[in-house]
Chains A and B, each alone.
Chain A
Amino acid sequence: MLNVTNISKKYGKKSILSSISLSVQKGEIIGLVGENGAGKSTLLHILATIQKPTDGVISLNDMSYDKNKKVIRKQIGFVPQDIAIWDEFTVEENMIFFEKLSWRKKSKIELKQLCLDMELDKWKEPTKTLSGGMKRKLNLAISLIHDPELLLLDEPTVGIDLKSRKEIGTYLKNQAINEKKSIVYTSHDMDEIISLCDRVICIGEDPFYKSILIDSGKEVISF
């Protein structure tokens, strides 16, 4: 469904990504690991059409990223690494705000259900007073309002407790298996990566990630 061929990214002379190729099938969860600054967020931004690769070709459902950006965006649910929500709004207002701007219309009940699916039950609570885990869940829920087929999640579970982490993991697994969504996500938590992902992409210089993953018997593609 998603095909990436030989993409690279340079900032000026500095090369961040070089010749990365991968493909993601329907219902597959792909992990993306690498040390800080390896270029995980950069790669996800490129896959999310937010940034352009310096080189290479990407296509989603055989549509080229160069020409069909508008259509492609409708299929993508992007969860930014920095939480992107309205602090002064409640959970409900945040969901309604982005639903109004979304391609897909959803009723209040559907929006609430989406939050409940990932155990986010503080519907009326101001976002400011939510715990870090709840904020992460909301950050994820907003990205899913338009029912995207391809989920690109940049550290969706960073800085949250085990319980919330499990809940988000269960939710993602469900989405992949039952809803046939394709998921690419980054994390520094190797246990989580090992238990959730079908395949893992390893970027950057640090050999540590790769060795852990290979030891666990996961299929690892490294660049």
Chain B
Amino acid sequence: MINILQTRLIHWKKQIFTLLFWLLLPIVTTILVTNVTSAIQDDSKVPVGIVLEENTPLAKDLVTSIKQTPFIRVYETTEEDALLKIEQHELDSAFVIKAGYDEQVRKGSRNRLITSFQSDLSFAFTPVSEMIISYVQQDTGRSKAAFTVKNLSDNAGLSKQWTWEEVVAKSKEIEAKENLLHTTFTFADSGQENDGKGITIWKPWGLWAVFSILSTLLLFDWLIKENRSSLAPRFTFIRITFKNYMVINALFYTILLFIFDLIAAGAFFLFLEEPFNLHSIGVILSYRLMLNAGAFLLALCFKNVYLFYSVSFVITLLVAITSGAILPIDGIIQSYQWLEYLNPLATFLSNKISVIWLIIFSFIIGLWHVRKEKSHA
């Protein structure tokens, strides 16, 4: 085993740059594409100034709500600075949350809670202000409801006394539940709504998974290069059978690639704040094993590397398109559940451990392995 590893290391040393290129490609591309798209999205957001005259819970809540709105980038600043920036058109508009906001809202008053500034170029002023008003109205309405409930329960002499905070909390809870029904842009895979950070068309792991298919297939060209007939007589006169030689080398490639999968997980955690845990590592491992088993079988079918490369590109494209990692195909997946079940990428993206393909591939490799070697017949 160690000897075979040494022979592999000679190969790897020779092609160190190509090897590293394909190993790092999925990681680097994923981080780059994700960063670039999120930067583009940031640029297309409307810059809005928010001036906080008080630091009360309700005022802070309002700012948080505004910040979470897609397409708005919030700058917290002073009134003076906001005015200056509006003049210079660095801000589209600005809103001042006046001192006493919290108190007024709790009282149910809606007057002069917020003042706004705009210029003649504030193209987004109306929708933004309307949105902010709707948030304020939500708060005052909730507050009013709280008072009403409190009064009612006071008057009815109920033993359970509702406080203002309790009613507000309850109302938010109900609202949160209802929010689940409301849909936004989703992926075929995730089922989770976009979280207000902006719409991410590229889900990092989806992208990684697609590029991993490509890089794994291309890295398995070793099998074709070593399977060529001119070298075959050499491999008749070695200690192990040629088939075992190939299987063991595939194992080395699997270990190497899995190490880089873990590096990917670490890098995505660091740079893209993608969490990972033991389960997701299991998912990655199952995906890796399936991918390598598939690449192994595919490479066995080819004698010509260039044809193999072209087929690899086509396969990558096909899998990517039908999985929903690139194009959202929610509808298709929903009407053909089995498609998701069969698409290896879809299983990976829904964070499930995929074994069907692994079992099928392993079975075929098993058959191939027990079949008598033709050249030795």
Contact = CB atoms under 8 A, between A and B. Distances in A.
A119 B375 CA distance: 33
B3 A101 contact: yes
Nearest to A99: B3
B377 interface: yes
A23 interface: no
A197 to B, nearest CB: 23
Interface in B336-377: 375-377
- Of A97, A98, A101, A142, the most chain B CB neighbours within 10 A belong to A101
B236 A84 contact: no
B230 A84 contact: yes
A96 interface: yes
Contact of B3 (A100, A142, A143): A100
A50 B375 contact: yes
A11 to B, nearest CB: 14
A89 B264 CA distance: 31
Nearest to B2: A100
Instruction: Give the secondary structure class of B's interface.
Output: helix
B4 interface: yes
B14 A101 contact: no
B377 A52 contact: yes
Interface string A54-96: 0000000000000001000100111010111000110001001
Interface stretch (B84-92, B238-246, B304-312): B238-246
B17 interface: no
Interface string A98-122: 1011110000000000000000000
Contact of B7 (A69, A76, A80, A100): A100
Interface in A113-150: 142-143, 146
A208 B239 CA distance: 42
A89 B14 contact: yes
Contacts of B375: 50
Contacts of B14: 88-89, 93
A114 B3 CA distance: 20
Interface in A192-213: none
B239 A102 contact: yes
Given A89-B14, A101-B239, A101-B245, A48 B4 contact: no
A3 interface: no
Contacts of B234: 80, 84, 98, 142
Contact of A82 (B6, B7, B230, B236): B230
B237 A143 contact: yes
Nearest to B6: A100
B245 A50 contact: no
A175 interface: no
A49 interface: yes
Interface in B48-84: none
Nearest to B245: A101
Given A84-B231, A100-B4, A101-B245, A146 B10 contact: no
B233 interface: yes
Nearest to B231: A84
Contacts of A143: 237
Interface in B217-248: 230-240, 245
Given A84-B230, A100-B4, A49 B236 contact: yes
Nearest to B240: A101
Contacts of A93: 10, 14
Q: Give the top 3 A-B pairs by smallest Cβ distance, nearest first.
A: A101-B238, A100-B3, A80-B233
8 contacts: A52-B377, A69-B376, A73-B237, A76-B237, A84-B233, A89-B14, A97-B7, A98-B234
Interface of A: 48-50, 52, 69, 73, 76-78, 80, 82-84, 88-89, 93, 96-98, 100-103, 142-143, 146
Given A84-B233, A102-B239, 10 more contacts: A49-B236, A49-B376, A77-B237, A80-B230, A84-B234, A88-B14, A98-B234, A98-B238, A101-B240, A102-B238
